[in-house]
Structure 1
């Protein structure tokens, strides 16, 4: 057999392993565990870090104010040096909509060694602990919650004895680029951190989705959160690892009533979202970067290349193996497309989407080595640390 045929067969074998041997990462059935209502509802404080979020607050903050929660709950919005009137708008929305009590506080610039979001969470969590809540809900300023979101999170945590319950918010899909890139973002995240493995008691895989994290206050104290992860750029994964290392039980799944309202209509917006942290995920290692590029090329780019080259060159084995690997790849993507209510016709485009993500990762490494590192909302972290390893 030709070298191309062998490469195509290796890619097909890799897809067989990915499909069956990696925690069924491609499935979308990890949703909030079944739960009844607890006998009593614990106190909860919602902490919202916000930096220049005036554009999305009107679509997100009212959903928190309107939470239908039987126990005592309140909101701390931490204005992290905004210049667009975020704090004033938050107070105006609270006066207009009513609902849960809202307190708006402002932080100064982060101290050395802290990333901005974790610096804001540090202030919010410190204020929240003074209220003595059993749980903290850490949620981003661009996340809209269904009215029963907090209720369901707390009930699931109580029923399952969980210290951390996180839902991957359903990201916004309106523009053509969002339709193409966003479902793949969650698909690739699940490939890196298979939800079933995260949710396995005593498992080593740990991850969370930073837009919606219900955290037991006692678990946060045992894990010394957020101080123990203060330099993490991928703060949600770092948080989950810290909680698991300290003996906590964690759970991660896809959301039905938690949605991001942040628009990323252009490819440049989505590119920036991925490239700011992709190289940090690889621990800024050129070796891991090279391995990632080779792996993406073998798994995602080889099948269509083998099909095309084999068909034109008369190599039936290469063409057949490439076609079968491509079909398996597209089939594994269909559940995520259904979750995002997107047409199945997008599934065969996954190799092209993977190529975009490969280029975004390379760009992330380029930015890091040019000293620009992770940049977000006017702040640049030239040498940020990756999420700490277990």
Structure 2
């Protein structure tokens, strides 16, 4: 039976130090121009004991942006900034994938080029959801997403090309692979939701083929640039975050997508499960009874690559999930914030620190980000980072 501390292979050839994944988490610490920096390199380098790090969501263009101070991967300066991060993670024995996104309707006009409207699958607004932007006084705060305009069919090839450039830049920046963010009510999730996607064109909501067409076109672009073994996709079945309506065809869509991703031999499918109808990310919890159901078995049967599971796990129920045989790696988000050495803490059953949520999305530099002094990092050949408590 696999354990959290085995060394699995991801894709065809990428060996990981363990089955613990650092989930993507937005932290708003970039420099001017949405450029990754030395502070971010330190942050990710501290967490290199994870089997796999997935970065915070990263913009593929100026108009894919929905939140202030999130990084990009579409300028030369951004690529150079990310090289600082990948170099530090690799120096410390880690593996790192770049998560790329387009937020779709989840944006504010103040963040868009020339103050234009965000792009959405339709012109329906995310009426109950906020984005992180500057208000009229220039203060960073959470504000309601602006009304979107519908993406036109003739604009989609240009959108796919923006992702293709992001994948090429990810390779230049030294990433081990990319994760395409198709979860949490952002652009691809908007297209895949049959209740929200009321389009009647070839990208419309009528069938699983049309609902997933845009995402699969982007997946194919990633495969052309990187190879299938360096591509992952993140989804959030049944998620209601960002004003997503209940979708009566979610199982049909995801199983179709799983089969198509398996046919393409992508490295992994990353599922955020049990995101609650309140739409509050803080309410996401792991529920063993929901994991052990026919839906998960169907996904496992449909997809031959690695399955990553994310959603409120702790050390013990993560092992329970692995014991089912239906998932291969377990992703942890918030525990990594205040426990950079989480993988080694789990291995040694050391207590975990609690994160200070007031500094999750601040511009306060190291505070709550890299200012941890209760551990010492020692490099161990062949094992990545081991930690000795100071």
Shorter-chain TM range is: under 0.3
The structure showing larger relative contact order (alpha-carbon pairs under 8 Å, at least 6 residues apart) is 1
Q: Which TM-score applies when normalising by structure 2?
A: 0.28
| Structure that is richer in helix per residue | 1
